[in-house]
Chain A
Amino acid sequence: MEQSATYEGQPLHHPKGWWGHYVFSQDHKVIALQYTTVAITIGLVGMILSLMMRMQLGFPGLFDSIDANSYYQDVTMHGMIMVIYLLTALFLGGFGNYLIPLMLGSRDMAFPFVNMLSFWVYLLSVLILISSFFVPNGPTGAGWTLYPPQSILEGTPGGDGLGIVLMLVSLVVFIIAFTMGGLNYITTVLQSRAKGMSLMRMPLVIWCIFLATFLGLLAFPALFVGGIMLVFDRLLETSFFMPEIFKGGEVLDYGGGSPVLFQHLFWFFGHPEVYIVALPAFGIISELISCHARKNIFGYRMMVWALVAIAAISFIVWAHHMYVAGMNPYLGFFFATTTLIIAVPTAIKVYNWVLTLWHANIKMTVPMLYCLAFLITFLIGGLTGLFLGNVSADVPLSDTYFVVGHFHMVMAVSPVLALYGGLYHWFPSVTGRMLDDRLGKIHFWITFIGTYLIYFPMHYIGFLGVPRRYYSNEQFDFIPASVGDLNQFITICALLVGASQFILLYNFIVSATRGEKAPKNPWGACTLEWQTLEAPPGHGNWGDRLPVVYRWPYEYGLPGATADFIPQNVPDEQIT
C-alpha cells in the first residue's frame, strides 16, 4: 500500500510518563476513551434514575425514599444526563474523537491541547452536575426543559436552592467544552485530511459528525444565553423570563418577563440537539450497514445532501415543541409544515439504507443486528413524530405518555442502538480484541425486544390521556386500573433491560483483557481506521508516512476484483 512521504518523523507531541500517556494525554484516541468512559459512567447514573422513576410508576409507594420531589428530580436529571452528558458527549467526544483523525488519515486533531482541554472541561461540567445531588434540597426537579417561572421558584425541587444554579452552570461549562472540541473537529475535517481524501470521499459517519458539530456550534449559544439569563433571574432576581407572580397573596419581586422567550431559546437549541444526537447515529448506521452487508452504500451523494438538508431544516422547526404555549395559528402552520418537510430527506436516508441491504450479502453480525433494529425503531419513532408534528393531533397528545413513547423510540432507543452497533464494530480497533459474540447477541435481543415492551405500551397509555411527568396517577378517575397493570409490566421490562446492560459492561471488561485477538481488519472494512500499520493504532496513527486515498469508502464487491473489498488507500494498479 502506497503512502505519501510527507511526514518528517516528528511526532505531534511527546507524551511524558504514565500521566502524560493516559491522563493528561493529547492523543485523540485516549481522549476518545476518556470521553467514552465518563459518558458511560454518567449514563449509568441516568439509567438508574430512570429505573427509580419506573419503580414509582409501576409500584407506587413501595419505596419510601421516592417521594414527589425526588421523583421530579429523577425525571429531570435522567433527561438531561441522557441527552447532553451521555449521548452528545459520547457521539461527538467519544466517536468523533476516535474516528475523525483515523478515518481521514490524519495524525491527530488539529489542536491536540485544546482537545485535551475540552475533555477536562467536560469532566468539570459532569462533576458540577453530580455535585447538585449533594447540596441542600438536592438537584433541580424542573423537568429537563427547565422552563421558568417554575424552575427557579420555591416549591419546585432545587428551585430555591442551589440545584437549578448548578444545573445551569454545568450546562454553560459543558457548552464551553463542546465549543473547544467542536471547533477542533471542524478544523480537522476541513484542514487535516490525507491526500486524496476529498470531501466526497469522506466516510458518511465523518460527514454526520461534522454536520452534527456544526449544528451544536450554532445551536448551543441559544442555550448558553438562555442559561445565563436564567441564572440572572434566579440569583439576581431580574425578570428576563419571570412574569408578575403572586405568592400567598403577595407579589414577588419579579415582573414583566416572558417565559415564552426562554422556551424559544431552549428549543432553538433543543430541536437541533435531536439531530446532534441523531446524525452521528445515522453515520454509524451507514458505515455498519455497508460493511456488514458487503455492499456499497446506495446513493452516497444523495445521503450527503440529505444530511445537509436535515441539518439546515432542523433550525426552522423548533417551535413544534411549543404548540400548546399559546402560538399564533399561522406560526403553528409554518412550523408544522417545516416539520413535515424534514421527513423528506430523512426518508431518503432510510430508503437508501434499505436499498443498500437489497440483494446484499448480509452478515448477521452483532453490529448488523443493531443496524436492522435501528432501522425499524427509527421508522416507528419517526412515524409517531408525524402525529406530534401536526398541531391538531399534537394538542390532545401533548404532555401525555404518547410523547414519552415517541421521543424515546426516535432519540433514545434509536441512537443507543446505533451506539451499541458502533461500539461492537470499533471495539477491535480500540483494543485489538473481539467482543464476545454470544454475549453480544444475548445483550442485543434483550435490549431490542425489551425496549419495545417498554415504549410501545406508552403510546397506548398516552392515547388514554395519561399525563407525563406525574408522580402518581391514582387519584384520576379517567385513568383505568389497567394502566397501573401496564405500568407494572413496563417497570419489570425496564428492570430487565437495565440489568442486561451489565452484560455489555461485563463483555467490555472481559473482552478487553481476555477476548479473542482481533485480526487487523476483522470486518473487512474499506475505511482508513482499519488500514493503520499497527493494530490498534499507535501514537501518531500512521508510522512514518501518511496514507494516500484513491477511492471512496464503500468499495465493496468491485466487479473484476478478487477481494470483496478494496481499502481506500489501495491504488488501482494494486487491485487484483
Chain B
Amino acid sequence: MSEHKTTTEQLILKLSHAQVFVYLLLVVITILFLFVINAYVFRMNFDDWQALPDPRLLWVNSGSLIAASLGMLWASKASKNGNRDNYKLGIFVGCLFALVFLIGQLIVWQQLISLDYFVASNPANTFFYLITGIHGLHLLGGIVALAVVAYKSQRLSDVVLLSSQTSLLATYWHYMLVVWVVFFGLFLTT
C-alpha cells in the first residue's frame, strides 16, 4: 500500500510488511523448536532413555531438503530476473524435493515401526516422532504457501511481481533446512 511507504519508520527498517511478518514468524517457530530441544535434553538424562538407530534414509532425506532449498534459491533469483522458465523449474524442484523429503520421513517412521520402535516404547522414540512430525507439518505449511504463490504466478504476466514472496518462501525453505540439520545433528549425537 502506497501510504505505508511514506512513513519514516519504513525507511528506518528497510523491510516490507511481509518480511517483518515472516521474520517474526521464524523467531516464534525458533522458540517453539528451542522448547522442544530443551525438553529433549532434559528428558534424555533420565535412566529410561534408549537412543534410536539412525536410519540411512535420513541422510537421503537431508539431501532432498538441500535440493529443495537450492531449487527455491534458483526460483528466487529467476523471479528477480524475470525469467519465467527458470522460475517455474525452481518452484517445481523446491516443491518436489520438499515432498520427497516428507515422504522419506514417513518411510523412516515405517521402518522404525517395523523394527518395533513404537512411539510410546521409549522417550527417545517419542521425541523422534514428535520432532520429525512438527518439522514436517511446518514444511507442509510452507508447501501450501508455495502452491498459492505458484498459482498466482500463472495469472501474472511477469514473475518479477512475485520476487519478494518467492524470496521469503526461499528463506523459509532455507530455515527449514537449518532446523532439520540441527535436529538431525541432535539425533546423531545423542
Contact = CB atoms under 8 A, between A and B. Distances in A.
Interface string A444-459: 0000000000000000
Contact of A225 (B1, B32, B47, B126): B32
A258 B130 CA distance: 17
Interface in B124-150: 126, 130, 134
A111 interface: yes
Given A236-B120, A238-B120, A239-B120, A190 B13 contact: yes
A261 B24 CA distance: 27
Contacts of A179: 25, 28
Contact of B20 (A4, A186, A221, A265): A186
A257 B21 contact: no
A449 to B, nearest CB: 43
A573 interface: no
Contacts of A194: 7
Interface stretch (A6-14, A52-60, A401-409): A6-14
B164 to A, nearest CB: 14
Interface residues of B, number: 34
A197 B1 CA distance: 18
A110 B3 contact: no
Contact of B17 (A191, A232, A237, A238): A191
B130 A221 contact: no
B151 interface: no
Given A228-B130, A255-B48, A258-B46, A191 B35 contact: no
B96 interface: no
Secondary structure at the B interface, as helix, strand, loop or mixed, is helix
Given A186-B20, A191-B10, A6 B2 contact: yes
Interface residues of A, number: 49
Contact of A198 (B3, B9, B39, B42): B9
A195 B8 contact: yes
A237 B39 CA distance: 17
A569 interface: no
A477 B35 CA distance: 45
Given A183-B28, A221-B35, A190 B20 contact: yes
Contacts of A12: 1
A222 interface: yes
B152 interface: no
Interface in A153-201: 179, 183-184, 186-187, 190-199
B2 A8 contact: yes
B6 interface: yes
B9 A193 contact: yes
A7 B2 contact: yes
Interface in A259-277: 261, 265, 268
Contacts of B7: 191-195, 197
A221 B31 contact: yes
Interface string A213-230: 000011001101100110
Contacts of A111: 17, 21
A339 B37 CA distance: 27
Nearest to B24: A183
Contact of B130 (A183, A187, A229, A261): A229
Contacts of B24: 183, 186-187, 217
Given A221-B31, A225-B39, A265-B39, 4 more contacts: A190-B9, A193-B9, A225-B36, A258-B46
Q: Which 7 pairs from chain A and chain B are nearest by CB?
A: A256-B48, A221-B32, A238-B126, A225-B35, A6-B6, A110-B17, A221-B31
Interface of A: 4, 6-8, 10, 12, 106-107, 110-111, 114, 179, 183-184, 186-187, 190-199, 217-218, 221-222, 224-225, 228-229, 232, 236-240, 253, 255-258, 261, 265, 268, 546
Interface of B: 1-4, 6-10, 13, 15, 17, 20-21, 24-25, 27-28, 31-32, 35-36, 39, 42-43, 46-48, 119-120, 123, 126, 130, 134
8 contacts: A110-B4, A191-B10, A217-B24, A225-B36, A236-B126, A239-B123, A256-B47, A256-B48
